[in-house]
Amino acid sequence: MKTINIQETIKCQDSRNVLIQLGAKTINGIGAMVHPTSANDLQWIFELDYDHDAIEGIVMPIWMSSQYSARLNEILNNQKQSTLTGAPNMNSAQSNLFSFNNTKAILYDPSPEALYFSNKTPEGKEGNIRRVRMKNLISETGAPKALNDLLECNPKTYYAAFEKIVNDQKQRNALILWSLIVQNNNKADVVFPMTPYVSGKETSAFKVAVDMNQEAEILGDSIPTPIGHYYCLDFNFFADSDTVDVAIEIFEDQYLKFDKSYKRVVAIKIVNDRFHEEPDSMENLKNFLYALRKIRDQTGVVFVLMSAMETGYAGLAKGFDLCSFPTNGYTNVGFSGGNGAVKAGLYDSKWLSKRKYKSVLKYFKENGHLPVEGTFGMRIAFTDPETYARDEWNSLAKKVLAEVKNNEAKKIREAVRDGEVRTIKEKFLGSKRKDFADLF
């Protein structure tokens, strides 16, 4: 089996420094990753011209895989041509992408929630866009029948359809292999199997995900890329303590018994992050994070939290090694941000949450500057947001978020390295998300 290498220095329980080696790449643990929510994001992500040294890579929805590799292949082909003809090698944009690909982690999110929600659900408007993109990927890659069957589902029929696939060894294997091969063919540094979207108390679906992750290691033995494990959980999964207790028990049985010399990457995605709406869920999340920390400390498992905002900020401090943030600032399936004629809100690092555009505009009129920090933030701080066209403003808002997340990751990295995690709790206590302080 293909594996990864980890170098870790632990001074005490709350102090660690981690380096993760993925092939020829070495990245820092306790780092942020960009999770694009639009194909247009693939342009500006590789052109960040300010400090982003704590951004350790990118996690793309699986339907963006062909778009990313197409851009990279174009650069590689241009490079070959320039070698033959002596023509100029790459422009700055191409050079940035080439450098990013060679130094940062490239991961894909199997995104099973795109097959769960339909255009008849509250999540449908944006969720249906995801389904269309997934359908295009299926068409491009000749995906197995199982995936087409899931594409026709809705929340009421999804689990029955998935159970049918699980009970058919041939279809289940085909679904797992397809997801691994698509990611491997599109330059991923770790590949993850497509597992079921786990909503609410679906512990049976969680157990299926465990089994499919194990099977992926066997089925993908010939794939030259390390194979990780993947779990996609709805926020409601954490609303019930019994459900979380079952998951913790399964996780401990799954990972603590394995050969500790074999290092795994385990990706966890929490969809529709609304922990503030359910008081008990925060305590359940705390117990879950504690269990994951125990596992990573004893086994060296690398935990990646995909597509997370405040949960990601806390998660990095509580044991996750990497966390990707959605570029639109939202984890709920049904929200894309900035649709139609609406301008996107702006992430406020002091609030640890996103201000709506009206709040941003009011702040500017009252204070004469935007609620931003950092090198890039200061470039736009004193410009009236009304002067920007919608698309330009929305792009700027995403770049502000990227800078904030980079700086947050750096502060968390320093706090964890120095054993000063309490400073992260203090940050939450001074923000709009005081509820997350309960995790510490």
Round to whole Å and give the CA distance between 63 and 110: 8
Query: Which 3 state secondary structure label does DSSP give 434?
Result: helix
Please give the pLDDT value at position 338.
41
Domains and CATH numbers, the chain: 1-342 (3.20.20), 346-439 (no CATH)
CA–CA separation, 135 and 114 (whole Å): 10
Q: List, run by run, the mean pLDDT of 10-residue segments along the chain (440 residues).
A: 64 66 86 88 80 89 85 70 57 74 91 73 57 80 82 84 89 93 93 91 87 93 92 90 92 83 87 76 91 88 90 88 89 52 87 93 96 92 95 92 91 86 90 88
Q: Say if CB 244 and CB 283 are below 8 A apart.
A: no
Q: What is the DSSP string of 193-232?
A: ----EE-TT-HHHHHHHHHHHHHHHHHTTT-SSPB-EEEE
- The pairing of beta strand 55-61 with beta strand 5-12: unpaired
Residue 228, pLDDT score: 95
Give dist(CA 172, CA 268) in Å, integer.
21
Strand ranges inside 82-240, DSSP E: 105-109, 197-198, 229-234
In the Cβ-directed half-sphere of 416, how many Cα atoms lie within 13 Å? Answer: 26
Contact 413, 31 (CB under 8 A): yes
In whole angstroms, what is the distance from residue 279 CA to residue 111 CA? 27
The CA-based diameter of the chain, rounded to the nearest angstrom, is: 66
pLDDT of residue 155: 81
State the amino acid at position 178 in one-letter form.
Answer: W
User: For residues 64 and 42, what is the distance between their CA atoms, to the nearest angstrom?
Assistant: 9
**Whole-structure pTM value:** 0.90
What is d(CA 267, CA 305) in angstroms, rounded to the nearest whole number? 6
Find out whether 406 and 55 touch, Cβ atoms under 8 Å. Answer: yes
pLDDT at 10: 53
pLDDT score of 81: 61
